[in-house]
Amino acid sequence: MEIVMTDAAAALKEFKATKSFFVGIDSDGCVFDTMGIKQRECFCPWTVACYGLQPVAEAARECRVFADLFSKTRGNNRYKTLKRLLFELLPNHPHVKQRGFSIPQPTHYFEWVDDPKSVLSNDGLKKAIDAAKDPAAKRELEQALAWSIKVNKAVADIVKGIPPFPFVRESLEKIGPKADVIVVSATPGEALVREWQEHDIAKYVAVIAGQEMGTKAQHLEYATKNRYDKEHVLMVGDAPGDLQAARAAGALFYPIVPGKEPESWKRFHNEAFDRFLKGQFAGGYEKKLITEFDNSLPGKPPWEK
């Protein structure tokens, strides 16, 4: 029997433009105030449990929250952030040094994360496990997959009933008649669909793209290439990775500033989206917004200052 391989990103690659403008929107921390609860109650406990970090649990929590909420790696792919935690932040945390605790260094896993050919998703990890010939590499990759699956289960069990930020729904209603809209996220697709449907806002977007469909930059490229004028494509996000994805795709960027999410969405609704439609967004206006955004996220953790 012939096995037909399906393209997970087909919905984006076959996307049909219906308007002359396009808006891609991130989800976690941008539309929903879910990043804090996911990091503190889902990622942190299972990182401690799966990697034996109980003796330095408080340091692990501090590093995790800094890396994914309050630094320039905010919102990074979970596998990249796990590497940063184990390889960079925790070994240099003063509490870890004081206790002489040795942080696990799964080098084969680190190599997989750093390989530009790797697909940093659960499905990509499963394929890497199947292809691994070194028993040590297989164990490390299986450990990371087990961690990710447990995190997903915790998210499904815990993260519920969190509504969109103020002015998100109003903004989606305003965007719809003027621009095509998709979700651009590194979150697993199942969780995205559940959250957007739970709050009855999935109806405002044409595609909900999660990590299975590629990187955020790929989402934007697949959906917009040769379909829209460059200054008619806008990415809305709350993390530096969203800005990088926008730039990689040649798109404009509107930041949702961490800690000022309601104010950011109100400004988008009342001012920024209209400027985008009128061709008054690129240049000085966008630069001012990005400077404010960049200044809100430090590069080094507070314990290094």
Task: Report mean pLDDT in 10-residue bins for the chain, 305 residues.
Answer: 58 94 96 93 97 97 94 90 97 96 98 94 94 97 98 92 96 97 91 93 96 92 94 96 95 96 98 98 97 93 86
- All residues at 6 or more sequence positions from 112 whose CB lies less than 8 Å from its CB, including other chains: 118, 125, 128, 137, 141
- Own/partner long-range contacts of 266-275 (Cβ < 8 Å, ≥24 apart): 266/166, 266/167, 268/167, 268/171, 268/236, 269/167, 269/170, 269/171, 269/174, 273/171, 273/174, 273/175, 273/178
pLDDT of residue 7: 80
- Say if pTM beats, i.e. exceeds, 0.85: no
pLDDT of residue 3: 35
Would you say 22 and 233 are in contact if contact means Cβ atoms under 8 Å apart? yes
Domain 10-33+164-295 has CATH 3.30.230.10: no
pLDDT of residue 211: 85
Domain ranges of the chain: 10-33+164-295, 36-158
pLDDT of residue 96: 97
pLDDT of residue 6: 60
What is the b/e burial string over 21-54, where b = at least 16 CB atoms within 10 angstroms of the residue's CB? Answer: bbbbbbbbbbbbebbeebbeebbbbbbbebbebe
pLDDT of residue 4: 35
